[in-house]
Amino acid sequence: MAIVLPGYMRAWEVARPGGRGGQRLRPVERPIPEPGPGELLVKVIATAVCRTDLHIVEGDLEAHLSPVIPGHEVVGEVAALGEGVTQWAAGQRAGIAWLRATCGQCVYCARGDENLCPRSQYTGWHADGGYAEFAVVRADYAYPLPEKPPEKLAPLLCAGIIGYRALRRANLPEGGRLGIWGFGASAHLAAQVALRQGAKVHVVTRTVAAQELALSLGAASASSGHPPEPLDSAILFAPVGELVLPALEALDRGGTLAVAGIHLTDIPPLRYERHLFQERNLRSVTANTRQDGREFLAFAASHELTVEVTPYPLDKADEALTDLANDRVRGAAVLMVAT
């Protein structure tokens, strides 16, 4: 990437959504953004690479801003305060997450379901995100973070929060049996939350490395086949609609499957008796609320979670996305932007 002039920053942008293979992003120089009223300018230290970024780049999700800088699991330091911001200070550690803004007035916001707000906006999709040296966030949507290694904090801001919400949506009973399909960044954190809560966890994933990671974290089983016993709850993290059927079939009576992804390929036809009868439940997961974020980050602060990361320099952002697309990332890929 080119040397950046004063007042400019290095960044990667999605110029044309829909690119698959080859170069998915292009390196650019951008003016350092200025925080508006109620906003923070954050100097980025680390940004985790999420599969949602890949969906945006590959055009699985409709573009809202083009070109756009992706990235929504951002750890940094407050570099400047916008007008009216009093609850933050320059130099404070701050996290930028997926949920960027909601209207605060609709029926969903009023009842505490801001993740369902029709006017919700998202970092790295509706507005520029963290594949850059600086990023802007509304002060009331940023998270205070502890002084821990930034590469270990970054995956918590989406992978961790979404996994936590998916676990809640799966209605896992105390001491229950949980099945997890797919074992990437979000799954390896959700599994640990469930294990800390006394659950028995079975993982279904196709790669040997992911199976080994699951077992090392405490999973009772990890394979590419079927769980060895009926499940009380299940979470589908892999964006593969065909997996909904075996996941539902693995549920015990009254069990619940939560589908955690923002994008899913088409689900084949279900057979009512085989997949849904006996009060099995199929639920989706839509983004998260800030309360989810606060609860999960508090849990992570009070419990020792293993955050498996594969670091990349900012200059290798395109390589990190390509590795993620080809299942070559162990745990979460993280761009190291500054130290």
CATH code, 161-284: 3.40.50.720
CA 60 to chain centre: 16
Neighbouring CB atoms inside 10 A of 110's CB total: 11
Q: Is 183 exposed, middle or buried (0-12, 13-18, 19+ CB in 10 A)?
A: buried
Two tokens, residue 162: 């979404």
Write out the two tokens for 139.
Answer: 């002060």
State the helix-helix crossing angle for 290-302 and 185-196, rounded to 10 degrees.
Answer: 60
Look at residue 311 and give its three-state secondary structure. Answer: strand
Domain ranges of the chain: 8-154+308-336, 161-284
CATH number, domain 8-154+308-336, options 3.90.180.10, 3.20.20.20, 2.40.50.140, 3.20.20.150: 3.90.180.10
* The pLDDT value given to residue 126: 97
Report the chain's terminal Cα–Cα distance, integer Å: 18
Torsion of CA 316, 64, 113, 172, to 10 degrees: -40
Which residue carries 């650019």 as its tokens?
A: 28
The per-residue pLDDT for 338 is 74
pLDDT of residue 3: 45
Q: Residue 229 corresponds to which tokens in the numbers above?
A: 């016993």
Q: Return per-residue pLDDT of the chain as tens, 339 residues.
A: 444 556 999 999 997 777 665 578 999 999 999 999 999 999 999 999 999 999 999 999 999 999 999 999 999 999 999 999 999 999 999 999 999 999 999 999 999 999 999 999 999 999 999 999 999 999 999 999 998 999 999 999 999 999 999 999 999 999 999 999 999 999 999 999 999 999 999 999 999 999 999 999 999 999 999 999 999 999 999 999 999 999 999 999 999 999 998 999 999 999 999 999 999 999 999 999 999 999 999 999 999 999 999 999 999 999 999 999 999 999 999 999 976
> Could you give the angle at the alpha carbon of 227 between the alpha carbons of 221 and 228, nearest 5°?
80
Q: Residue for token digits 């993620």?
A: 324
pLDDT at residue 6, rounded to an integer: 67
pTM for the predicted model, two decimal places: 0.93
Spatial distance between the Cα atoms of 125 and 119, rounded to a whole number of angstroms: 13
| 54 phi, psi to nearest 5 deg | -65, -40
